[in-house]
Amino acid sequence: MVTVEEKLVMCEAELGRECACWEVGACQFASDPLSTMIQPFESIFAGLSFVIFWGLIISILWLRTHNPMITGLIGVAMSGAFIATGEQIVPEMDKALTIGGILLLLSMGISLYQIITSRIYAPPN
């Protein structure tokens, strides 16, 4: 049976650098499952992993519904849930929240325009 320390030494010998816990399977998954699952992505995307997952979910929702208001409301709920966790917000996420807010205002403007134009061009009852 190979111990964790032996795995770390073998990994360091093969890669020439210190290995992360997820590379050798030594992370404490039960104590913090979300952070443990995000660690490999954080090493690649450097702070943008939540932004990428957030954008992926919102884009799939948009492709399925074609409704800007539902997409905006779900995006705001996801942003609020992320902010409520109390984690420090990286600058990339702050930029994504700003862009999300702008897109929500844009979708509200489109919806308001659609409501007004449908009432103007509707035949009288």
pLDDT tens by residue, 83-97: 787 777 778 778 877
Q: Give the mean pLDDT of 40-61.
A: 84
What's the CA gap between 43 and 19, in Å, rounded? Answer: 11
pLDDT at 66: 87
- Say what the pTM is: 0.58
Please report, for residues 57, 63, 117, the alpha-carbon distance to residue 39 in angstroms, rounded to integers and kept in the order given. 19, 29, 49
Give residue 36's identity as a one-letter amino acid code.
T
Return d(Cα 26, Cα 2) in angstroms, integer. 12
Predicted confidence at residue 107, as pLDDT, reads 78
- pLDDT tens, position by position, 21-34: 888 888 888 888 87
> Within 10 Å of residue 75's Cβ, how many Cβ atoms?
23
